[in-house]
Amino acid sequence: MIARHVTVHGRVQGVFFRAETQRTAAGLNIGGWVRNLPDGTVEAQVEGTAENVDTMLKWLEHGPERASVTHLDIAEQTPSGATSFQVL
C-alpha cells in the first residue's frame, strides 16, 4: 500500500471535481479524502495499491469533463489504513 497527498490546480471548483473524485476512487478501491481549499485548489489524500494510486493520479491530471487542471503537486505520505473515500 502507498499513499499520496495531492493538490490539484486549475479550474477545479464548481465542476463536480470532489464528487467525481470520490466516484473514481471508489471504482479503484482507493481510500482517503478530497476537499476544496480557500485558494481555489482541491486537496486530496489517496491510498491503495501502487497500480491503483497511479491510475488515480493519472485521472486527477485531467479530472471531470468540466475541469481544467493545470498541474498537480504530489507528495509521498505514509498510508493511514483508510478503506473508504470521503468528501470533506
- In angstroms, the CA 54 to CA 58 distance is 6
52 is a catalytic site residue: no
β-pair type (68-77, 42-48): unpaired
Residue in 11, 36, 52, 66 annotated catalytic: 36
- β-bridge mates for residue 32, sequence order: 46, 85
Burial class (CB in 10 A: 0-12, 13-18, 19+), 75: exposed
Q: Which residue has cell 464528487?
A: 19
Residue in 4, 11, 18, 52 annotated catalytic: 18
66 is a catalytic site residue: no
Active-site residue set: 18, 36
